Structure formats: C-alpha cells, structure tokens
Amino acid sequence: MGTGVDEVLTSLHRACLGSRQLLSGGPTALLALVAFVLTAAALASSPPLGALLLPVAATANRKVATRERRRVGRLLGTPVEYRYAPLLDAATPAGHGYARRWLTIIVRTLAARSTYQDAAWTAVHGLLGTALIALVPALWAAAIAAVAAVPFWLFVPGTSAAWLLPTALAPVTLLVLRSLPTFAHAQARLSARMLAEPAQARMSARLVELAETRAGALAAHSAELRRIERDLHDGAQARLVSIALRLALAERRMTSDPVLAADLVGQAREGAEAAMGELRDLIRGLYPPILADRGLVTAVEALAARSPVPVTVTVDARTAERPPAAVEAAAYFGVSEALANVAKHSGAGQATLGLVLDDDRLVIVVTDDGTGGADESRGTGLSGIRHRVAAFDGSLALSSPAGGPTVLTIRLPCTAEADPL
Amino acid sequence: MRVVIVEDNVLLAEGLRLMLELEGATVVAVLHTAEEFLTTIGEHAPDVTITDVRLPPAFSDEGVRAAAEARRRWPGLPVLVLSQYVEHVYSAELLSQGAGGVGYLLKDRVSRVDEFLDALRRVASGGTAIDPEVIAELFRRQRQNSPLERLTAREREVLSLMAQGHSNTTIAGLLTLTERSVSKHIGNIFTKFDLPPDDSAHRRVRAVLTFLNS
C-alpha cells in the first residue's frame, strides 16, 4: 500500500517538475515562433524589404536565443555561452551616412554564422517548443477527464461508453506525464546543441585570450626583472661597495689612527645591517619566506592575523597538492593587497576571507562590511594584482557598490598541465 | 657557556663559532641538520643551542619544528632560533610551550655582538629573547578591542622591552626610569591583560604570549 502511494506521489512530482521545466521554455518558444513567422513573411512577401529588415530580425533573434541559452544552461547545469560578433561597433564608419552604415550592418549580419544558427533554432524551437508547451495542459486535461469520466458515466443516465475513452487511456496519459522531465531535458539539450558556439569559434576566442595572457605574463615578468635588477643595483650592491671601501680605509689606518679605523669599521657594520634589511624586503616582495616554509594557507592566515581589521578566515582545501609557487605568490600578494585596502580605505569593522583550493583552481574571496565605492582606477595596487593574476590566466573581480559591501574575488587556475579550453 | 650550533651554511656556522669563541664561549659541536640536532643534543648537553630556521633537506622551517620538538622532549631546553626573516607565527609557536629558555632573533642581530651575547645568556639562563622586529610588527597592527589598546604609551614601551626578554633592571636602564616605576608599569600590564597573580617569571611569559597572540 505504502509503495502504491509513494508511486503515485513520485509520478505526480515528476509530472509537476516536467511541466514546470517545459513551460519555462514557453516565452522563448512563443517569441521564437513570432520571430520565425515574421522573418519568413517578410522574406516571402518582398525579398528586398526582407533583406533590409534582416538586421532587425537577427538582433531580435539574438535576444531570444540569449534568453534561451540562459534558461537551458540553468536547466542542464552547464552554461551555454556564445560570443556574438558585434554588428555595430566603434570600427563602423560613422561619417558616411545611414545607407553605408546600414549596408555594413547587413553585410556583417549575413557574414555572421550566428545569424543562420539562430534562425534555424527559431524555426525548430518556435514549432517544436510551442507544440511541447501545448502538450502540457492537454495532458493534464486528459488526466482530469480520466478521473472525472467514471462518476459521470455511472451517474448520468444515457451516457455512452465512449465517454470512458479518457479513463481507458489513463495508463498512457500517466506514462507521458511521468516522462515530462525527460522531454524537457531532451528539448533543452536540443536547444543547447543548436545554440552552442562552434568549437572552432570557441578555440579562436580562447586563442586570442591566451595570446593576451601570454603578452601580459611577458610584460609582468620583464617589469619584475627590471625591478629586481634596479633594487639590487641601487641597494645591496651599492652598500657592499661602500662597506668594502670603509673596510679598506680602516685597514690602512689601523695602526696610524685606530680611532678613525674603529669608526670606519662601525660604519661598515651599519652598512651591512642596512643591506641585510634591504635584501630581506626584496625577498619578501619576490616570494615571501612564510609561503615557501608553510604554504599558502598558513601564509594567508598570518596575513589575516596581521590585519588591523579583524578577518575571519575559512579554508576549504580539497587537495593536498600545493599550487605552483608562482600561483601561490600571486594569490598571496592579491590577499595582501586586498587586506591592505580593507584596512586603509573601507572603514570596515569586519572582514572575511574565503579560500577554496582544489585540483585545478584556487578561488579567494575577500569581503568587508565597509562603505564600498572602491575604485580600481584610483590606486595602482589592485590593477597590479589584476595584471599579475591575468598573467596566469586567472581573473580578478571587484564589486563595491556605494554603501558596501565590497567583495573581491580572485580566481587562479592551478593545474600544471596546459588546458587549451 | 657551552654552545651547540645547528647551521648548514658553512660561512654562517664558522662566523658564529669564531665570534662565540673569541667572546669566551665554548662551541661544543656544529651540526648541520635538524635530525642531528634531535639525536645528539642529549649527549652534547649544551647550555644553549643556536639553530637556523631553514635546514636540510627541505630548507623550510625544520629549525623551528626541531626546536619545538626538542623542547617537548626536554622541557626548558634553551634554544635560540635565528632566522633570515621574522614571522610572529613562529615566535608564538616557540613560546607556547610555556617555560622560558627560548629566543627568536633575526640573523642580523649577530652583528651587534654585545646585544647578541646578552640575549644568548638570557636564553641560556631560562629567559626569553624575542626580536624587536616581531614586537614592532605586533604594535603596528592596531586591533580594535585588543588588550593592547588599554595600555598607555609608557606601558607599551615597557611591554615591548619585556617581550624582548629584558629584566626590570635593564628596562629601567634603557628607559631611564627607576626600577620601582618599572615594576609598577608591569603590574598595570598584568592587570590590564587580566592575568591572575602567579609567580612572576611565569606571569611575564604569559603576558608576552597574550601580546603575541593578541
């Protein structure tokens, strides 16, 4: 008995879920249908007029398709993305009048693969999607009729047995209702497939991105080399020269003027101490020793402990592997900069730092309860971190509405192997 | 004073040996690894051990770990840890084992021979020697609601010298105060840190620990 009730409840649950999922495609299906019919009508009635209106139709299709991508991305759990080529941008000649501009747009529309992809999808989704949506109320009506027909046939005299047809078909209705989630998923997969960016386009976009990353990495590395060279040259190296000079003088005056010699040796020692301090600072800026000794988690905790604003640290390390040293350093300096900004500018009383580390990525989120309104362009710190992170194909996102809260997110891939896509 | 040096870098080890022997200490042994330190320290029985933080094989924090481990096995074993850089995480770890006889200094301090030997003797006789840089760093982060906020400027000076390991007499000399007023300041610090009455050596270490962990 219990299993029977369970069975009915499961069926009902699946039927409701499937209906909801299918109906969520309703708006895009109807819009696609309208777009398809209008485009077809425009092209059929007057091809020149249709061609003129083409960009309008293509733009409308892009909007509907984008909406559908978001919907099926949510439903399937894997985002469906598409980088459209812009139809109009700064490169479009502006001073040549409307006709030229419109022509450019038409040419671009015709050249874009997405135009045909979207159009094919509006046809399929407009017809199939609408049909599927219509199926939902029809099925529920059939189910209700199947139950209602029995008392009707029993108690209303003169009712023909034909009225019992819905009841006879009940098993089929139930089966279809139960399968609605499967339909919804199949339909979503079809949309996702038709609307997916072609692998080649994805590759070339990724290639552009990687080329930029590589250029950024080169620039960052060169700047770093120059900075180290300058620091060593102006700092420790110059100090050593002056120490050697003082020691040589002291050596010559040792017997003739011991007081002067002792003074020179003292100056040499002070110079050596200063050089040690400078080298220590330089090393800290390259690869902080605590990071080398204890790893990122302890190093970040030490940074948080040093912050004047209390920071709550949560760590979710799903792997025992340490990220590559350069990635750890980028993450460390990111956190250091973020916490320095919290202390200096945010006016926050509390901050949190979340660190997630798994096999292929490292995510750091720093949140504070301050006044917000952080502006990356005002200082050099954050943009420095952005470049550093970008050099490793990572990203930095800053959200800081006036009134707060400020959320800084740093993502860094940390696989050692190359991952082109 | 019988000293054991644990340092894998020959230049630094020989420099230390030269300085200590010229100043009248006896260098019993120069060891190169944390493992040697742990296995032979019992037989060398030095008055104090000086160890580097970075030692073979991994050159990370073997020295700090070995010092902590040695002090677990032989409570109160005096160890002075030398490091190319200071991190207050380490000083708190070293002190957290309670009893004194611990030092944590920047390698740079070696060049101030008198101060260095003074710190070494303090550690050998069960006191503490924490690098001024660690203490300066702790004062730099001004936390809201930290017990440090309740201290007056003078009390901070006293606490910082106390944390470095100086005695009341030295503190009085360094700040040109009378010893009586130094003990008064220290009494105030204990009260503000809510440290219950206790034997004073213990209380000093606890006050410094409160400070390091604040």
CB contact under 8 A, A280 and B84: yes
What angle, rounded to 10 degrees, do the helices at A381-390 and A199-232 form? 120
Tens digit of each residue's pLDDT (9 = 90 or more) over A334-346: 999 999 888 888 8
Average pLDDT (B176-204) is 82
What is the structure's pLDDT at B81? 94
A151 confidence band (pLDDT: 50, 70, 90): confident
Average pLDDT (A40-56) is 77
CATH of B142-213, one of 3.50.50.60, 1.10.10.10, 1.20.1730.10, 1.20.120.420: 1.10.10.10
Residue B198, classed as helix, strand or coil, is coil
List of chain A residues whose C-beta atoms are within 8 Å of the C-beta of residue B107: 276
Q: Phi and psi of A396, rounded to 5°?
A: -130, 130
**Where are chain B's structural domains?**
2-135, 142-213
Q: Which residue of A has its CA nearest to B214?
A: A305
Average pLDDT (A359-386) is 84
Are residues A354 and A314 in contact, defined by beta-carbon separation less than 8 angstroms?
Answer: yes
Q: Checking DSSP bridges between strand B102-106 and strand B128-130, what pairing results, if any?
A: parallel
The DSSP 8-state label assigned to residue A92 in this structure reads S
CB distance from B61 to chain A under 8 Å?
A: yes
CATH of B2-135, one of 3.40.50.2300, 2.40.50.140, 3.50.50.60, 3.40.630.30: 3.40.50.2300
Tens digit of each residue's pLDDT (9 = 90 or more) over B118-170: 999 999 998 889 898 888 877 776 566 677 778 888 998 898 898 888 888 99
Contacts of A393 (CB under 8 A, 6+ apart): A209, A210, A213, A413
Query: Who has greater pLDDT, B173 or A152?
Result: B173
CB distance from B144 to chain A under 8 Å?
A: yes
Judged by average pLDDT, the poorest of A55-69, B16-30, B33-47, B170-184 is: A55-69
Mean pLDDT, rounded, of chain B: 86
What is the structure's pLDDT at A416? 58
B21 confidence band (pLDDT: 50, 70, 90): very high
Average pLDDT (A296-309) is 89
Average pLDDT (A396-417) is 85
B contact residues 91-130, partner A, Cβ 8 Å cutoff? 107-108, 111
Q: Which residue of B has its CA nearest to A300?
A: B89
Are residues B114 and B122 in contact, defined by beta-carbon separation less than 8 angstroms?
Answer: no
Long-range contacts from B144-152, C-beta under 8 angstroms, 24+ separation: B144/A310, B144/A349, B146/B214, B147/B192, B147/B193, B147/B194, B147/B210, B147/B214, B148/B211, B148/B214, B150/B192, B151/B188, B151/B189, B151/B192, B152/B188
What is the structure's pLDDT at B151? 86
- What is the C-alpha to C-alpha distance for residues A340 and A346, in angstroms, rounded to an integer? 10
Please say if the pLDDT value at position A92 is more than 60: no
Are residues A411 and A363 in contact, defined by beta-carbon separation less than 8 angstroms?
Answer: yes
Q: With CA atoms as reference, report the closest residue to B95 among B213, B13, B7.
A: B213
- What is the C-alpha to C-alpha distance for residues A28 and A71, in angstroms, rounded to an integer? 9
Within B98-193, residue ranges assigned H as helices are 113-124, 132-140, 153-164, 168-175, 179-192
